[in-house]
A and B are shown apart, each in its own frame.
Chain A
Amino acid sequence: MSQFQVAVAGVGGQGALLFGRLLAEAGRSRYEHVSYFPHYATIMRGGQSECTVIISHQEISSPITFELQAVIIMHPQFVEQYQNRVQPGGRLFLDSSVVPHKITREDIEVFYIPATKSAIELGDDRVANLVLLGAYLEATKAVPLELVEKALEGRLRGGRGEALLPLNKEALRQGARLITNYGGWKDDQRRNSY
Protein backbone atom coordinates (compact mmCIF):
# COMPACT_ATOMS: atom_id res chain seq x y z
CA MET A 1 0.00 0.00 0.00
CA SER A 2 1.12 3.52 -0.62
CA GLN A 3 0.05 4.87 2.75
CA PHE A 4 -0.52 3.59 6.29
CA GLN A 5 -2.35 5.53 8.96
CA VAL A 6 -2.81 4.54 12.57
CA ALA A 7 -3.99 6.18 15.79
CA VAL A 8 -2.94 4.81 19.17
CA ALA A 9 -4.97 5.71 22.25
CA GLY A 10 -3.93 5.03 25.82
CA VAL A 11 -3.44 6.80 29.11
CA GLY A 12 -0.19 8.49 30.07
CA GLY A 13 2.43 5.90 31.02
CA GLN A 14 1.16 3.11 28.76
CA GLY A 15 3.52 3.97 25.93
CA ALA A 16 0.98 4.93 23.27
CA LEU A 17 3.31 7.69 22.08
CA LEU A 18 6.37 5.43 21.96
CA PHE A 19 4.39 3.01 19.77
CA GLY A 20 3.85 5.84 17.30
CA ARG A 21 7.30 7.32 17.50
CA LEU A 22 8.97 3.96 16.83
CA LEU A 23 6.69 3.32 13.88
CA ALA A 24 7.50 6.76 12.47
CA GLU A 25 11.23 6.25 12.93
CA ALA A 26 11.08 2.82 11.32
CA GLY A 27 8.83 4.08 8.52
CA ARG A 28 11.18 6.80 7.38
CA SER A 29 13.57 4.40 5.67
CA ARG A 30 10.77 2.92 3.54
CA TYR A 31 8.55 5.93 2.92
CA GLU A 32 9.33 9.39 1.60
CA HIS A 33 6.83 11.04 3.93
CA VAL A 34 6.22 10.49 7.60
CA SER A 35 4.17 12.37 10.17
CA TYR A 36 3.81 11.68 13.86
CA PHE A 37 1.42 13.73 15.96
CA PRO A 38 1.43 13.12 19.71
CA HIS A 39 -1.64 14.61 21.36
CA TYR A 40 -1.81 14.51 25.10
CA ALA A 41 -3.16 16.29 28.11
CA THR A 42 -0.82 18.20 30.40
CA ILE A 43 -0.74 15.36 32.90
CA MET A 44 2.19 12.98 32.95
CA ARG A 45 0.44 9.81 34.05
CA GLY A 46 -3.18 8.89 33.76
CA GLY A 47 -4.20 11.58 31.27
CA GLN A 48 -5.42 10.86 27.74
CA SER A 49 -2.56 10.17 25.44
CA GLU A 50 -3.07 9.69 21.73
CA CYS A 51 -0.91 9.77 18.67
CA THR A 52 -1.45 9.59 14.94
CA VAL A 53 1.18 8.22 12.58
CA ILE A 54 1.04 8.43 8.81
CA ILE A 55 3.74 6.88 6.62
CA SER A 56 3.30 7.49 2.93
CA HIS A 57 4.83 7.51 -0.53
CA GLN A 58 2.81 10.65 -1.33
CA GLU A 59 2.95 13.99 0.39
CA ILE A 60 0.84 14.00 3.56
CA SER A 61 -1.75 16.76 3.33
CA SER A 62 -2.84 16.68 6.95
CA PRO A 63 -1.08 14.98 9.85
CA ILE A 64 -4.43 14.69 11.61
CA THR A 65 -7.47 12.90 10.32
CA PHE A 66 -10.56 11.51 12.04
CA GLU A 67 -11.00 8.21 10.21
CA LEU A 68 -7.96 6.00 9.86
CA GLN A 69 -7.03 2.63 8.43
CA ALA A 70 -6.13 1.33 11.88
CA VAL A 71 -6.73 2.20 15.51
CA ILE A 72 -5.08 0.75 18.61
CA ILE A 73 -7.03 0.94 21.88
CA MET A 74 -5.01 0.39 25.05
CA HIS A 75 -7.57 1.44 27.64
CA PRO A 76 -11.34 0.84 28.05
CA GLN A 77 -12.15 4.57 28.23
CA PHE A 78 -11.41 4.93 24.51
CA VAL A 79 -13.59 2.12 23.15
CA GLU A 80 -16.72 4.16 22.60
CA GLN A 81 -15.05 7.01 20.70
CA TYR A 82 -12.17 5.37 18.94
CA GLN A 83 -13.92 2.39 17.39
CA ASN A 84 -15.74 4.98 15.25
CA ARG A 85 -12.43 6.28 13.98
CA VAL A 86 -11.69 3.09 12.02
CA GLN A 87 -12.44 3.39 8.29
CA PRO A 88 -14.85 0.81 6.92
CA GLY A 89 -12.65 -2.14 5.96
CA GLY A 90 -10.00 -1.00 8.44
CA ARG A 91 -8.51 -2.70 11.47
CA LEU A 92 -9.01 -2.24 15.19
CA PHE A 93 -6.56 -3.66 17.73
CA LEU A 94 -7.53 -3.88 21.40
CA ASP A 95 -5.45 -4.80 24.41
CA SER A 96 -8.00 -7.43 25.43
CA SER A 97 -6.29 -7.96 28.80
CA VAL A 98 -7.50 -4.55 29.95
CA VAL A 99 -10.31 -3.80 27.48
CA PRO A 100 -13.13 -6.27 28.11
CA HIS A 101 -15.40 -5.07 25.27
CA LYS A 102 -16.56 -7.06 22.31
CA ILE A 103 -16.85 -4.82 19.27
CA THR A 104 -20.11 -5.08 17.35
CA ARG A 105 -19.06 -3.28 14.16
CA GLU A 106 -19.04 -5.76 11.30
CA ASP A 107 -17.43 -3.62 8.63
CA ILE A 108 -13.99 -3.70 10.25
CA GLU A 109 -11.50 -6.36 11.23
CA VAL A 110 -11.00 -6.56 15.01
CA PHE A 111 -7.98 -8.08 16.70
CA TYR A 112 -8.27 -8.87 20.39
CA ILE A 113 -4.68 -9.00 21.56
CA PRO A 114 -3.87 -10.03 25.15
CA ALA A 115 -1.04 -7.50 25.18
CA THR A 116 -0.78 -6.74 28.89
CA LYS A 117 -1.04 -10.43 29.82
CA SER A 118 1.69 -11.32 27.30
CA ALA A 119 3.85 -8.49 28.58
CA ILE A 120 3.51 -9.69 32.19
CA GLU A 121 4.45 -13.19 31.06
CA LEU A 122 7.52 -11.74 29.37
CA GLY A 123 8.46 -10.04 32.64
CA ASP A 124 7.17 -6.45 32.50
CA ASP A 125 3.69 -5.10 31.85
CA ARG A 126 5.24 -1.93 30.44
CA VAL A 127 6.06 -3.65 27.14
CA ALA A 128 2.37 -4.19 26.33
CA ASN A 129 2.68 -1.32 23.84
CA LEU A 130 5.36 -3.22 21.93
CA VAL A 131 3.29 -6.40 21.90
CA LEU A 132 0.57 -4.34 20.22
CA LEU A 133 3.08 -2.78 17.82
CA GLY A 134 4.35 -6.25 16.87
CA ALA A 135 0.77 -7.34 16.24
CA TYR A 136 0.04 -4.24 14.17
CA LEU A 137 3.14 -4.78 12.03
CA GLU A 138 2.37 -8.45 11.43
CA ALA A 139 -1.24 -7.74 10.48
CA THR A 140 -0.59 -4.73 8.24
CA LYS A 141 3.00 -5.26 7.00
CA ALA A 142 3.38 -1.46 7.22
CA VAL A 143 7.14 -1.85 7.84
CA PRO A 144 9.28 -4.92 8.58
CA LEU A 145 9.57 -5.63 12.29
CA GLU A 146 13.36 -5.52 12.00
CA LEU A 147 13.22 -1.80 11.21
CA VAL A 148 11.38 -1.15 14.46
CA GLU A 149 14.01 -3.21 16.27
CA LYS A 150 16.63 -0.99 14.70
CA ALA A 151 14.77 2.10 15.87
CA LEU A 152 14.66 0.60 19.38
CA GLU A 153 18.38 -0.08 19.26
CA GLY A 154 18.97 3.50 18.22
CA ARG A 155 17.13 4.67 21.33
CA LEU A 156 18.42 2.19 23.89
CA ARG A 157 21.99 1.33 22.83
CA GLY A 158 24.62 2.83 25.06
CA GLY A 159 22.04 4.18 27.50
CA ARG A 160 20.50 3.07 30.76
CA GLY A 161 17.85 1.12 28.89
CA GLU A 162 20.25 -1.09 26.95
CA ALA A 163 19.60 -4.07 29.23
CA LEU A 164 15.91 -3.82 28.31
CA LEU A 165 16.55 -4.28 24.61
CA PRO A 166 16.05 -8.09 24.53
CA LEU A 167 12.76 -7.78 26.46
CA ASN A 168 11.48 -5.09 24.11
CA LYS A 169 12.40 -7.09 21.03
CA GLU A 170 10.78 -10.20 22.46
CA ALA A 171 7.59 -8.21 23.10
CA LEU A 172 7.48 -7.16 19.45
CA ARG A 173 7.95 -10.75 18.29
CA GLN A 174 5.35 -12.05 20.72
CA GLY A 175 2.88 -9.53 19.29
CA ALA A 176 3.62 -10.76 15.78
CA ARG A 177 3.12 -14.38 16.88
CA LEU A 178 -0.26 -13.53 18.38
CA ILE A 179 -1.37 -12.45 14.91
CA THR A 180 0.17 -15.46 13.14
CA ASN A 181 -1.71 -17.78 15.48
CA TYR A 182 -4.76 -15.56 15.81
CA GLY A 183 -7.86 -17.52 16.75
CA GLY A 184 -10.51 -14.82 17.06
CA TRP A 185 -12.45 -13.46 20.00
CA LYS A 186 -13.37 -16.78 21.67
CA ASP A 187 -9.81 -18.00 21.61
CA ASP A 188 -8.69 -14.69 23.04
CA GLN A 189 -11.15 -14.95 25.94
CA ARG A 190 -9.54 -18.27 26.79
CA ARG A 191 -6.04 -16.80 26.53
CA ASN A 192 -6.89 -13.93 28.86
CA SER A 193 -8.39 -16.10 31.59
CA TYR A 194 -6.02 -16.80 34.42
Chain B
Amino acid sequence: MTGEKILCEGNEAVGRGAIYAGCKYFFGYPITPQNEIAEFMARELPQIGGVYVQPEGEGAVAYMLFGGALTGQRVMTATSSPGFSLMQEAISHLAAVEAPAVIVEVMRLGPGAGTGGQQGQTDYRQVTKGGGHGAYRCLVIAPYSAQEIFDFVQLAFYLADKYRIVVIVLTDFILGRVAELIELRRLDFEPLPQKDWALKGKAQKEGRRSCHLSGLVWGGVTGYFSRQLDKYQEIVASETRYQTYKTEGAQLLLVAYGSMARVARDAVDRAQAQGMKVGLLRPITLWPFPKRAIREAGLAAGKVLVVEDSPGELVEDVEVAVGGQVPVHLLNILARHIPGPSGLIYPERVLQEVKALI
Protein backbone atom coordinates (compact mmCIF):
# COMPACT_ATOMS: atom_id res chain seq x y z
CA MET B 1 0.00 0.00 0.00
CA THR B 2 1.35 3.40 -0.88
CA GLY B 3 0.86 6.25 1.56
CA GLU B 4 0.17 9.92 1.05
CA LYS B 5 3.07 11.97 -0.32
CA ILE B 6 3.92 15.30 1.26
CA LEU B 7 6.61 17.95 0.80
CA CYS B 8 8.45 17.64 4.06
CA GLU B 9 11.73 18.99 5.44
CA GLY B 10 14.07 16.57 7.15
CA ASN B 11 13.44 17.92 10.63
CA GLU B 12 9.70 17.51 10.27
CA ALA B 13 10.25 14.01 8.86
CA VAL B 14 11.93 13.13 12.17
CA GLY B 15 8.80 14.04 14.11
CA ARG B 16 6.48 12.29 11.68
CA GLY B 17 8.61 9.13 11.69
CA ALA B 18 8.64 9.09 15.50
CA ILE B 19 4.87 9.36 15.72
CA TYR B 20 4.50 6.58 13.13
CA ALA B 21 6.77 4.48 15.36
CA GLY B 22 4.46 5.02 18.32
CA CYS B 23 6.64 7.50 20.21
CA LYS B 24 4.46 9.59 22.50
CA TYR B 25 7.06 11.11 24.78
CA PHE B 26 9.54 13.73 23.65
CA PHE B 27 11.92 15.72 25.81
CA GLY B 28 13.71 18.62 24.22
CA TYR B 29 15.60 21.85 24.64
CA PRO B 30 15.84 24.40 21.82
CA ILE B 31 18.95 24.55 19.67
CA THR B 32 19.48 25.44 16.01
CA PRO B 33 19.33 23.70 13.53
CA GLN B 34 16.93 21.13 15.03
CA ASN B 35 14.23 23.40 16.46
CA GLU B 36 11.63 22.32 13.91
CA ILE B 37 11.67 18.84 15.46
CA ALA B 38 10.77 20.08 18.93
CA GLU B 39 8.28 22.52 17.44
CA PHE B 40 6.55 19.69 15.57
CA MET B 41 6.47 17.39 18.59
CA ALA B 42 5.24 20.15 20.91
CA ARG B 43 2.36 20.75 18.50
CA GLU B 44 1.50 17.16 17.59
CA LEU B 45 2.09 15.02 20.69
CA PRO B 46 -0.62 16.56 22.91
CA GLN B 47 -3.15 15.78 20.16
CA ILE B 48 -2.44 12.05 20.34
CA GLY B 49 -2.32 11.78 24.10
CA GLY B 50 1.44 12.19 24.25
CA VAL B 51 3.65 14.57 26.17
CA TYR B 52 6.27 17.12 25.17
CA VAL B 53 8.48 18.36 27.98
CA GLN B 54 11.05 21.12 27.79
CA PRO B 55 13.12 21.25 30.99
CA GLU B 56 15.91 23.66 31.92
CA GLY B 57 18.62 22.22 29.68
CA GLU B 58 19.97 19.26 27.73
CA GLY B 59 21.33 17.53 30.84
CA ALA B 60 17.83 17.35 32.27
CA VAL B 61 16.43 16.31 28.90
CA ALA B 62 18.72 13.31 28.74
CA TYR B 63 17.85 12.21 32.29
CA MET B 64 14.15 12.50 31.47
CA LEU B 65 14.87 10.29 28.48
CA PHE B 66 16.56 7.87 30.89
CA GLY B 67 13.55 7.79 33.21
CA GLY B 68 11.07 7.55 30.38
CA ALA B 69 12.96 4.74 28.67
CA LEU B 70 12.97 2.68 31.88
CA THR B 71 9.19 2.67 31.96
CA GLY B 72 9.30 0.77 28.67
CA GLN B 73 7.75 3.57 26.60
CA ARG B 74 9.17 4.75 23.30
CA VAL B 75 10.97 8.00 24.09
CA MET B 76 13.01 10.39 22.02
CA THR B 77 14.94 13.61 22.08
CA ALA B 78 16.55 15.69 19.37
CA THR B 79 19.45 18.06 19.70
CA SER B 80 22.44 19.54 17.94
CA SER B 81 26.15 19.32 18.66
CA PRO B 82 26.66 21.44 21.84
CA GLY B 83 23.42 20.05 23.24
CA PHE B 84 24.52 16.52 22.42
CA SER B 85 27.74 17.09 24.37
CA LEU B 86 25.70 18.14 27.40
CA MET B 87 23.75 14.85 27.23
CA GLN B 88 26.76 12.52 27.37
CA GLU B 89 26.64 11.73 31.10
CA ALA B 90 23.04 10.55 30.94
CA ILE B 91 23.65 8.62 27.72
CA SER B 92 26.37 6.70 29.53
CA HIS B 93 23.84 5.88 32.29
CA LEU B 94 21.28 4.81 29.67
CA ALA B 95 23.90 2.53 28.16
CA ALA B 96 24.86 1.13 31.57
CA VAL B 97 21.35 -0.22 32.22
CA GLU B 98 20.72 -0.94 28.53
CA ALA B 99 17.76 1.39 28.28
CA PRO B 100 16.41 1.79 24.74
CA ALA B 101 16.02 5.36 23.47
CA VAL B 102 16.30 7.30 20.24
CA ILE B 103 18.35 10.48 19.96
CA VAL B 104 18.33 12.56 16.81
CA GLU B 105 21.51 14.60 16.39
CA VAL B 106 21.28 17.37 13.80
CA MET B 107 24.93 18.35 13.58
CA ARG B 108 26.09 21.93 13.47
CA LEU B 109 29.60 22.98 12.61
CA GLY B 110 32.59 23.06 14.88
CA PRO B 111 33.57 22.79 18.55
CA GLY B 112 32.37 25.10 21.32
CA ALA B 113 29.29 27.07 20.40
CA GLY B 114 30.22 26.37 16.80
CA THR B 115 28.74 28.63 14.20
CA GLY B 116 25.35 29.22 15.72
CA GLY B 117 23.82 26.47 13.67
CA GLN B 118 25.49 26.16 10.28
CA GLN B 119 26.30 23.13 8.15
CA GLY B 120 28.96 20.66 9.24
CA GLN B 121 29.68 16.96 9.81
CA THR B 122 32.03 17.55 12.70
CA ASP B 123 30.57 15.16 15.29
CA TYR B 124 31.37 11.86 13.56
CA ARG B 125 33.99 10.79 16.08
CA GLN B 126 31.92 11.82 19.09
CA VAL B 127 28.81 10.05 17.87
CA THR B 128 30.41 6.83 16.65
CA LYS B 129 33.04 6.33 19.34
CA GLY B 130 30.89 7.39 22.29
CA GLY B 131 30.98 10.83 23.87
CA GLY B 132 30.47 9.55 27.40
CA HIS B 133 32.55 7.37 29.68
CA GLY B 134 32.57 3.61 30.07
CA ALA B 135 33.28 1.94 26.70
CA TYR B 136 29.65 1.60 25.67
CA ARG B 137 28.28 1.62 22.14
CA CYS B 138 25.39 3.47 20.54
CA LEU B 139 23.97 2.30 17.25
CA VAL B 140 24.30 5.17 14.74
CA ILE B 141 22.18 5.53 11.60
CA ALA B 142 22.91 8.16 8.95
CA PRO B 143 20.02 8.85 6.55
CA TYR B 144 20.63 10.93 3.43
CA SER B 145 17.17 12.09 2.35
CA ALA B 146 13.91 13.23 3.95
CA GLN B 147 12.33 9.86 3.12
CA GLU B 148 15.18 8.00 4.78
CA ILE B 149 14.93 10.22 7.83
CA PHE B 150 11.24 9.34 8.11
CA ASP B 151 11.92 5.62 7.59
CA PHE B 152 15.09 5.35 9.68
CA VAL B 153 13.54 7.03 12.72
CA GLN B 154 11.04 4.18 12.70
CA LEU B 155 13.88 1.71 12.23
CA ALA B 156 15.74 3.38 15.11
CA PHE B 157 12.90 2.72 17.55
CA TYR B 158 12.74 -0.90 16.46
CA LEU B 159 16.48 -1.45 16.83
CA ALA B 160 16.55 0.38 20.18
CA ASP B 161 13.90 -2.00 21.54
CA LYS B 162 15.35 -5.08 19.89
CA TYR B 163 18.82 -4.63 21.34
CA ARG B 164 18.04 -2.44 24.37
CA ILE B 165 20.45 0.19 23.12
CA VAL B 166 20.57 3.92 22.47
CA VAL B 167 20.15 4.58 18.75
CA ILE B 168 21.37 7.87 17.33
CA VAL B 169 19.96 9.13 14.06
CA LEU B 170 22.59 11.49 12.69
CA THR B 171 21.67 14.31 10.31
CA ASP B 172 22.94 17.84 9.75
CA PHE B 173 21.92 21.35 8.74
CA ILE B 174 21.40 20.37 5.09
CA LEU B 175 19.35 17.24 5.77
CA GLY B 176 17.33 18.96 8.48
CA ARG B 177 16.44 21.83 6.17
CA VAL B 178 15.98 20.21 2.77
CA ALA B 179 12.33 19.62 1.92
CA GLU B 180 11.60 16.67 -0.36
CA LEU B 181 8.58 14.57 -1.18
CA ILE B 182 8.17 11.78 1.31
CA GLU B 183 5.73 8.93 1.35
CA LEU B 184 4.05 8.55 4.73
CA ARG B 185 4.26 4.81 5.35
CA ARG B 186 4.37 2.62 8.41
CA LEU B 187 7.27 0.22 8.27
CA ASP B 188 6.71 -3.32 9.47
CA PHE B 189 9.31 -5.00 11.62
CA GLU B 190 9.63 -8.40 13.27
CA PRO B 191 7.79 -8.77 16.58
CA LEU B 192 9.75 -7.60 19.62
CA PRO B 193 10.15 -9.39 22.95
CA GLN B 194 8.08 -8.18 25.93
CA LYS B 195 9.78 -5.46 27.97
CA ASP B 196 9.73 -7.47 31.17
CA TRP B 197 12.54 -5.29 32.50
CA ALA B 198 10.41 -2.13 32.37
CA LEU B 199 9.49 -0.32 35.58
CA LYS B 200 5.72 -0.21 35.85
CA GLY B 201 5.13 0.58 39.50
CA LYS B 202 4.40 -1.81 42.36
CA ALA B 203 0.69 -2.06 41.54
CA GLN B 204 1.42 -3.73 38.23
CA LYS B 205 4.23 -5.88 39.60
CA GLU B 206 2.20 -7.88 42.11
CA GLY B 207 3.55 -5.72 44.90
CA ARG B 208 7.17 -6.43 43.95
CA ARG B 209 9.56 -3.56 43.92
CA SER B 210 11.94 -3.39 40.94
CA CYS B 211 14.66 -0.94 40.04
CA HIS B 212 17.51 -0.27 37.65
CA LEU B 213 20.78 1.06 38.99
CA SER B 214 23.38 2.48 36.64
CA GLY B 215 25.85 2.67 39.49
CA LEU B 216 26.95 -0.95 39.50
CA VAL B 217 28.17 -3.48 36.99
CA TRP B 218 25.70 -6.31 37.44
CA GLY B 219 26.93 -9.86 37.29
CA GLY B 220 30.54 -8.89 37.90
CA VAL B 221 32.92 -7.10 35.58
CA THR B 222 33.55 -9.90 33.11
CA GLY B 223 29.96 -11.08 33.15
CA TYR B 224 28.68 -7.60 32.40
CA PHE B 225 31.12 -6.82 29.63
CA SER B 226 30.88 -10.21 28.00
CA ARG B 227 27.12 -9.71 27.75
CA GLN B 228 27.70 -6.30 26.18
CA LEU B 229 30.26 -7.73 23.78
CA ASP B 230 27.89 -10.49 22.71
CA LYS B 231 25.23 -7.91 22.00
CA TYR B 232 27.61 -5.64 20.09
CA GLN B 233 28.82 -8.60 18.05
CA GLU B 234 25.27 -9.53 17.15
CA ILE B 235 24.60 -5.95 16.07
CA VAL B 236 27.73 -5.93 13.91
CA ALA B 237 26.68 -9.21 12.30
CA SER B 238 23.02 -8.34 11.73
CA GLU B 239 22.65 -4.58 11.46
CA THR B 240 25.57 -3.28 9.41
CA ARG B 241 23.99 -1.30 6.60
CA TYR B 242 25.43 0.45 3.55
CA GLN B 243 24.53 1.23 -0.03
CA THR B 244 26.65 1.06 -3.14
CA TYR B 245 26.03 3.26 -6.17
CA LYS B 246 27.54 2.52 -9.58
CA THR B 247 30.50 0.70 -8.01
CA GLU B 248 30.56 -1.99 -10.72
CA GLY B 249 33.93 -1.73 -12.44
CA ALA B 250 34.77 1.49 -10.58
CA GLN B 251 38.42 2.59 -10.63
CA LEU B 252 37.86 5.07 -7.84
CA LEU B 253 35.59 4.52 -4.85
CA LEU B 254 34.02 7.49 -3.13
CA VAL B 255 32.98 7.03 0.50
CA ALA B 256 30.64 9.57 2.10
CA TYR B 257 27.65 9.57 4.45
CA GLY B 258 24.58 11.74 5.03
CA SER B 259 24.36 15.01 3.11
CA MET B 260 27.83 14.56 1.63
CA ALA B 261 26.75 11.23 0.16
CA ARG B 262 24.14 13.16 -1.85
CA VAL B 263 26.83 15.55 -3.07
CA ALA B 264 29.20 12.66 -3.85
CA ARG B 265 26.44 10.76 -5.66
CA ASP B 266 25.85 13.77 -7.90
CA ALA B 267 29.59 13.89 -8.63
CA VAL B 268 29.50 10.18 -9.52
CA ASP B 269 26.68 10.84 -12.01
CA ARG B 270 28.64 13.65 -13.62
CA ALA B 271 31.88 11.65 -13.73
CA GLN B 272 30.13 8.63 -15.25
CA ALA B 273 28.52 10.88 -17.86
CA GLN B 274 32.04 11.91 -18.82
CA GLY B 275 33.16 8.30 -19.08
CA MET B 276 34.98 8.02 -15.75
CA LYS B 277 34.56 4.78 -13.82
CA VAL B 278 33.68 6.07 -10.37
CA GLY B 279 31.35 4.63 -7.73
CA LEU B 280 30.08 5.50 -4.28
CA LEU B 281 29.80 3.45 -1.13
CA ARG B 282 27.65 5.08 1.50
CA PRO B 283 27.73 3.80 5.06
CA ILE B 284 24.16 3.88 6.40
CA THR B 285 25.11 2.66 9.85
CA LEU B 286 28.18 4.50 11.14
CA TRP B 287 28.33 2.07 14.03
CA PRO B 288 28.35 -0.75 13.17
CA PHE B 289 30.68 0.45 10.42
CA PRO B 290 30.59 -1.40 7.05
CA LYS B 291 34.27 -2.20 7.30
CA ARG B 292 34.30 -5.32 5.15
CA ALA B 293 32.22 -3.81 2.34
CA ILE B 294 34.54 -0.79 2.19
CA ARG B 295 37.61 -3.01 2.17
CA GLU B 296 36.24 -5.15 -0.66
CA ALA B 297 34.99 -2.26 -2.79
CA GLY B 298 38.09 -0.19 -2.03
CA LEU B 299 40.46 -2.99 -2.99
CA ALA B 300 38.48 -3.70 -6.16
CA ALA B 301 38.67 -0.04 -7.20
CA GLY B 302 42.32 0.42 -6.25
CA LYS B 303 41.87 3.83 -4.64
CA VAL B 304 39.44 5.58 -2.36
CA LEU B 305 38.30 9.18 -1.95
CA VAL B 306 36.51 10.09 1.29
CA VAL B 307 34.27 13.17 1.09
CA GLU B 308 33.25 14.64 4.43
CA ASP B 309 32.33 18.10 5.70
CA SER B 310 34.79 17.85 8.55
CA PRO B 311 38.57 18.18 8.94
CA GLY B 312 38.68 14.35 8.67
CA GLU B 313 36.98 11.80 10.93
CA LEU B 314 35.21 9.26 8.72
CA VAL B 315 38.50 8.97 6.83
CA GLU B 316 40.09 7.32 9.89
CA ASP B 317 37.58 4.48 9.86
CA VAL B 318 37.99 4.07 6.10
CA GLU B 319 41.78 3.89 6.48
CA VAL B 320 41.38 1.18 9.10
CA ALA B 321 38.94 -0.67 6.83
CA VAL B 322 41.30 -0.84 3.85
CA GLY B 323 44.26 -1.57 6.11
CA GLY B 324 46.80 0.40 4.10
CA GLN B 325 46.30 -1.76 1.02
CA VAL B 326 45.05 1.04 -1.23
CA PRO B 327 45.56 4.81 -1.06
CA VAL B 328 42.83 6.75 0.77
CA HIS B 329 42.42 10.38 -0.26
CA LEU B 330 40.37 12.97 1.59
CA LEU B 331 38.27 15.88 0.38
CA ASN B 332 37.40 17.69 3.58
CA ILE B 333 35.91 20.88 4.97
CA LEU B 334 38.63 22.94 3.30
CA ALA B 335 36.93 22.15 -0.03
CA ARG B 336 34.01 24.40 0.82
CA HIS B 337 33.06 27.13 -1.55
CA ILE B 338 32.91 29.89 1.03
CA PRO B 339 30.46 32.56 -0.16
CA GLY B 340 26.97 32.03 1.21
CA PRO B 341 26.02 31.90 4.86
CA SER B 342 28.72 29.33 5.75
CA GLY B 343 29.99 27.84 2.52
CA LEU B 344 29.23 24.36 1.23
CA ILE B 345 31.02 21.54 -0.54
CA TYR B 346 29.42 21.38 -3.97
CA PRO B 347 29.32 18.41 -6.38
CA GLU B 348 31.44 20.40 -8.84
CA ARG B 349 34.31 20.49 -6.33
CA VAL B 350 34.04 16.73 -5.75
CA LEU B 351 34.08 16.14 -9.51
CA GLN B 352 37.23 18.26 -9.80
CA GLU B 353 38.90 16.05 -7.18
CA VAL B 354 37.73 12.90 -8.94
CA LYS B 355 39.28 14.12 -12.20
CA ALA B 356 42.56 14.82 -10.44
CA LEU B 357 42.67 11.32 -8.97
CA ILE B 358 41.43 9.08 -11.74
Query: Taking beta carbons and an 8 Å cutoff, which residues of A are in contact with B?
Result: 21, 24-25, 28, 32-42, 47-50, 60-67, 81
Contacts and interface: CB of A to CB of B under 8 A. Distances in A.
A33 B182 CA distance: 10
B339 A62 contact: no
Contact of B174 (A25, A37, A49): A37
A65 B341 contact: no
B244 interface: no
A63 B341 contact: no
Contacts of B174: 37, 63-64
B344 interface: yes
Interface residues of B, number: 30
B340 A66 contact: no
A34 B117 contact: no
A62 B341 contact: no
B178 A35 contact: yes
Interface in B321-358: 337, 339-342, 344, 346-349
A33 B181 contact: yes
24 contacts: A21-B179, A24-B179, A28-B7, A34-B7, A35-B179, A36-B9, A36-B179, A40-B341, A42-B116, A42-B118, A49-B341, A61-B262, A61-B268, A61-B269, A62-B347, A64-B174, A64-B344, A64-B346, A66-B346, A66-B348, A66-B349, A67-B348, A81-B339, A81-B340
B74 interface: no
A43 to B, nearest CB: 9
Contacts of A41: 118, 341-342
Interchain residue pairs A-B with the least CB separation, the first 10: A62-B266, A61-B266, A66-B346, A41-B341, A81-B339, A36-B179, A42-B116, A62-B262, A66-B348, A61-B265
Contacts of A65: 266, 346-348
B177 interface: yes
A20 to B, nearest CB: 9
A24 B340 contact: no
A38 B265 contact: no
A65 B150 CA distance: 24
B348 A42 contact: no
A61 B180 CA distance: 12
B263 interface: yes
A62 B180 contact: no
Nearest to B33: A42
A157 to B, nearest CB: 18
Nearest to B337: A66
Contacts of B348: 65-67
Contacts of B118: 41-42
A53 B268 CA distance: 21
Contacts of B32: 42
Contacts of A62: 262-263, 265-266, 347
Given A35-B178, A36-B7, A67-B348, 6 more contacts: A28-B7, A36-B180, A38-B177, A50-B341, A65-B346, A66-B347
A60 B116 CA distance: 29
A118 to B, nearest CB: 28
A21 B177 CA distance: 12
Contacts of B347: 61-62, 64-66
A64 B263 contact: yes
Contacts of B349: 66
A28 B119 CA distance: 26
A35 B181 CA distance: 8
B255 to A, nearest CB: 16
A85 B76 CA distance: 41
B340 A39 contact: yes
Contacts of A42: 32, 116-118
Contact of B180 (A21, A38, A63, A66): A63
A7 to B, nearest CB: 10
A61 B265 CA distance: 6
A65 B347 CA distance: 6
Contact of B262 (A28, A48, A49, A63): A63
Interface string B45-64: 00000000000000000000
A153 to B, nearest CB: 16
Nearest to B270: A61
B177 A37 contact: yes
A67 B337 CA distance: 12
Given A63-B174, A63-B180, A64-B263, A24 B7 contact: yes
Nearest to A151: B7
